Structure 1
């Protein structure tokens, strides 16, 4: 006779794991994308900001490689150099990109409105604050002091090149937060991200996921640009972004981190009823 044992976690939430750019800092996620545009321009291959946004959320070397495989970018590269982009070419662009990113990441990384209030509220509820990012550790070493000066001190930070296993869309950075924070069950965690690949990361780790449609990469506007739109102009942009994150599997999609407390309360109630991510 065989027995089947199923354990459903019904305890409280223990941690919220945040992405960085477009989620907690850098409304519109400009630091990684604009610098990529500039890095490609420096070698004579123009790319648009929209193209730079397509692989957002990936580790930056993988981001550059994927960007170079987009059909229009690949065609421009072939026209310029007479051959497809190779891994050595990716290394060359990465070597240009990294110093630019380190020197300029702080210029774009103001806190997103509502972020500090939300994080303070989550801490008051006893939740731990984790984080992971598509940025490599060198960039995070430049960004962390900027964020700390603004009042953001996550309990854990995992960079894209910290782990041998790799980065998104795999679960490893999110799970490294689970280990570092001492979380008892992955269902007690919420992953918050502005990119589809970041949502995949959370789902692959067995967590609840929340997509941020307006503040991040999918709308891709600065706060001033977003606020300058009329409500009628905002609606289709918000909807396209929300649809992409929902199609990626996000359990919830909201505009920004400022709306997160209500979602956290709802997830807590669902866990208490025995629901799972």
Structure 2
């Protein structure tokens, strides 16, 4: 049996652009600081990949942050607080987003090779359509433009881990079977999105939000520290349902060749 891959659907920040997924993280930290409830980078990263308003809600539901909010404000958080924080997040992010649109090393070349093989290039994101207008415009100038983009604005605000953004890609490409589709992402919510859609889930490690390092920080690490970081991140992906992991984007090509090999029955 030969497994033909018809489409690869990528996440954006931390997967194809914005090494380390830093554009949203800094803003999450900033808005919680302004609300009198400082959060750690680790706490800000934990829900990464979700629709950003869901991300904020999930952070507020974390026991430590929830208790801190109640202590500072004298009451539990409400949906109105979620909306207020999200408004602040959106305003701040839009001011800096264009700076975080550089394609990650190997992405443009890998996508070009996939296209030459007749494979469709799709994408999903935790950003809104308005945010993605900035990201897609700037990334295209720098050489990266997938064939299709779905945001939660296209799915009645059901973002990850719901599978609907992936289904929009599959529908647009007129693909009959989810078994012919691969999702590549850099967060545990990407893996959950893929599993819920019934497509293969591949976690990309170096440059991922799960790893959480800038390119300069990662490059400066001794090789043994890099290996420890890679293996720790790999375990996170595997624990969240990844079928495969790759260290960098160029590793995707030989992996897809391996997946497509005939299986001896």
Measured against the shorter chain, the TM-score band is over 0.9
Match of residue 144 from structure 1: 136
Match of residue 273 from structure 1: 263
Unaligned stretches of 5+ residues in structure 1: 1-8
| Kept after mapping to 2: 8 A contact 1:169/1:201 | yes
Q: RMSD across aligned C-alpha pairs, in angstroms?
A: 1.5
- Counterparts of 1:257 and 1:10, CA distance in 2: 23
Match of residue 247 from structure 1: 239
Q: Paired residue for 1:232, among 224, 234, 237?
A: 224
Distance of aligned partners of 1:132 and 1:274 in 2 relative to their CA distance in 1, 3 Å threshold: farther
Distance of aligned partners of 1:11 and 1:211 in 2 relative to their CA distance in 1, 3 Å threshold: closer
Alignment of 1:90-239 (within 5 A): 90-164=82-156, 166-239=158-231
Secondary structure of 1:144 counterpart: helix
The number of equivalent residue pairs is 265
- Counterparts of 1:61 and 1:274, CA distance in 2: 47
Distance of aligned partners of 1:222 and 1:24 in 2 relative to their CA distance in 1, 3 Å threshold: same
- Counterparts of 1:146 and 1:32, CA distance in 2: 16
Alignment of 1:64-75 (within 5 A): 64-75=56-67
Match of residue 264 from structure 1: 256
- Counterparts of 1:258 and 1:220, CA distance in 2: 20
TM-score when normalising by structure 1: 0.92
- Counterparts of 1:20 and 1:194, CA distance in 2: 9
Note the alpha carbon deviations across 1:142-196, whole angstroms, 9 max, x for none: 1111111011111110112321271111111111100011112111110001111
TM-score when normalising by structure 2: 0.96
Unaligned stretches of 5+ residues in structure 2: none
| Kept after mapping to 1: 8 A contact 2:3/2:259 | no
| Kept after mapping to 1: 8 A contact 2:195/2:201 | yes
Does 1:44 find its partner at 2:44? no
Match of residue 85 from structure 1: 77
Structure 1 residue ranges, 4+ long, deviating more than 6 angstroms after superposition: none
Secondary structure of 2:9 counterpart: strand
